[in-house]
């Protein structure tokens, strides 16, 4: 069957051993190849026979010698995108490996073993604009930085480590502050110790910011980010202790291009600008959300009962009351300050969210009915995941869940 349609195959993913039969096949229009846990057998042969390859994914072969495979990849004239995970680059081919990287536009290296970085100083990677580096070894950050600093055209950088480390961050901050990466617009950090002041210096040299994912974000970073509110599309601040509800509300209301926002809890009172009653909060909250027409994920989950939200400057006003809902065991659900997802109270304003795929409201108490579910089905055609308690009455909750499931939508109270 595969032979009959060889000319139509553009992407091929092979799990496990590359059989002799597959290695003998020729796909004249193949542009992307993925090999997972392939060992050494036939991997180089299938690469050599497809010089049209533009993108390659390689995974889970760090126990094998990959020299023949790297030699084959290095000879691909059109290769632009390499994604390598848990591979070994041996010293006898490392020079060819770095030379191959000079032609790439996108490079992703994850938990790889590169035996010799000594020859790296001979190379620059002028075409790489997207770079992802993740490691699970102590002191690897310094070596990663040697790769990063050799990518002058960098636009997107994702840099993560399973080790909490400050290694390399001071030097990265210094290089960024002097304008080493003038085109950088997307930055994601994980596992590295960077301060609000250091990140502020990095962001301050970026001409344009479209994506930011970091574990540190404070007042100084917000000052810089305000100048980029018009271009921000993706923002993940959920691990940032200094981020407040008021900060998130400012971002939510000031970033017209925002597609994804993740952060600590945002309070309805911040959205409504200190309203007198809860009824004023509802339409203001829905009104702000309705502007995010590119939104695909909307999570309106309540505060976990074991850690109620409390704001030191307004402690009394923000205490939450909890009641036990026996329908779902010992689950505590807030019955104050929960957004009310009923028509007539503002939900109808969200008809503009035509791209919405996931809608979660776990930890809140709702009194939804068939009319609300039908409204969601009509206006959110892309919806495929709903999670939360639909109604305090268990039979009604189950009936509404079944209505979603009948339309191929995952629906449940818990994850």
Dist. CA 42–CA 327, nearest whole Å: 57
Mean pLDDT lowest among 44-53, 97-106, 155-164, 319-328: 319-328
- Mean pLDDT for the chain overall: 82
Please check the confidence at residue 404 and state whether its pLDDT lies above 80. yes
At residue 16 the predicted structure's pLDDT band, cuts being 50, 70 and 90, is confident
Beta strands at 331-334 and 322-325: parallel, antiparallel or unpaired: antiparallel
Mean pLDDT lowest among 31-40, 54-63, 169-178, 275-284: 275-284
Indicate left, alpha or beta for 379 from its phi (over 0: left) and psi (-120 to 50: alpha): alpha
At residue 264 the predicted structure's pLDDT band, cuts being 50, 70 and 90, is confident
Dist. CA 327–CA 405, nearest whole Å: 20
More reliable by pLDDT, 23 or 160:
160
Average pLDDT over residues 205-231: 94
Q: What is the pLDDT of residue 299?
A: 82
Q: What are phi and psi of 394, to 5 degrees?
A: -60, -40
At residue 338 the predicted structure's pLDDT band, cuts being 50, 70 and 90, is low
Measured from the Cβ of residue 369, the count of other Cβ atoms closer than 10 Å reads 15
Average pLDDT over residues 8-30: 83
- Does the CA dihedral 152-134-196-218 come out positive or negative? positive
Measured from the Cβ of residue 322, the count of other Cβ atoms closer than 10 Å reads 16
Q: pLDDT tens, 162-177?
A: 765 666 778 888 899 8
Mean pLDDT lowest among 173-187, 233-247, 396-410: 233-247
3-state secondary structure of 127: coil
Q: What are phi and psi of 169, to 5 degrees?
A: -70, -35
pTM of the shown model: 0.74
Please check the confidence at residue 313 and state whether its pLDDT lies above 80. no
More reliable by pLDDT, 245 or 129:
129
Q: What is the pLDDT of residue 138?
A: 64
At residue 84 the predicted structure's pLDDT band, cuts being 50, 70 and 90, is very high
Q: pLDDT tens, 88-108?
A: 888 889 999 999 999 999 999
What is the H or E stretch that residue 173 is in?
helix 169-177
3-state secondary structure of 250: helix
At residue 306 the predicted structure's pLDDT band, cuts being 50, 70 and 90, is very low
Domain locations along the chain: 293-415
- Does the CA dihedral 192-198-202-204 come out positive or negative? positive
């Amino acid at each position: 069957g595969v032979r009959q349609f060889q000319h139509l195959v553009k992407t091929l993913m092979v799990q496990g051993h590359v059989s002799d039969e597959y290695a003998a096949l020729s796909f004249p229009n193949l542009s992307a190849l993925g090999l997972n846990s392939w060992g050494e057998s036939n991997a180089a042969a299938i690469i050599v026979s497809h010089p049209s390859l533009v993108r390659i994914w390689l995974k889970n072969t760090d126990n094998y010698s990959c020299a023949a495979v790297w030699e084959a990849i290095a000879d691909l004239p059109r290769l632009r995108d390499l994604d390598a995970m848990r591979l070994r680059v041996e010293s006898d081919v490392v020079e060819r490996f770095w030379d191959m990287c000079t032609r790439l536009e996108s490079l992703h290296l994850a938990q790889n073993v590169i035996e010799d970085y000594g020859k790296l100083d001979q190379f620059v990677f002028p075409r790489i604009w997207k770079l992802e580096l993740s490691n699970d070894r102590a002191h690897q950050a310094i070596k990663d930085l040697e790769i990063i600093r050799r990518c002058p055209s960098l636009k997107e950088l994702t840099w993560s480590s399973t080790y909490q480390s400050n290694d390399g961050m001071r030097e990265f901050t210094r290089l960024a502050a002097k304008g080493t990466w003038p085109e950088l617009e997307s930055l994601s950090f994980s596992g590295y110790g960077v301060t609000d002041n250091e990140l502020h210096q990095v962001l301050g040299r970026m001409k344009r910011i479209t994506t930011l994912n970091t574990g540190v974000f404070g007042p100084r970073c917000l000052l810089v980010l305000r100048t980029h509110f018009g271009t921000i599309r993706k923002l993940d601040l959920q691990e940032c202790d200094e981020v407040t509800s008021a900060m998130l509300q400012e971002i939510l209301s000031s970033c017209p291009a925002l597609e994804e926002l993740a952060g600590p809890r945002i309070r309805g009172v911040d959205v409504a600008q200190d309203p007198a009653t809860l009824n004023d909060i509802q339409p203001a909250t829905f009104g702000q959300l309705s502007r995010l027409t590119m939104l695909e994920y909307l999570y309106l989950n309540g505060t976990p009962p074991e850690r109620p939200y409390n704001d030191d400057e307004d402690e009394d006003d923000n205490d939450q009351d909890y009641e036990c809902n026996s329908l779902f065991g010992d689950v505590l659900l807030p019955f104050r300050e929960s957004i009310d997802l009923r028509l007539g109270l503002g939900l109808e304003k969200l008809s503009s969210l035509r791209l919405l795929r996931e809608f979660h409201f776990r930890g809140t108490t709702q009194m939804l009915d068939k009319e609300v579910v039908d409204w969601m089905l009509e206006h959110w055609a892309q919806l495929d995941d709903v999670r939360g308690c639909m109604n305090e009455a268990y039979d009604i909750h189950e009936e509404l869940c079944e209505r979603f499931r009948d339309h191929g939508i995952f629906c449940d109270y818990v994850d």
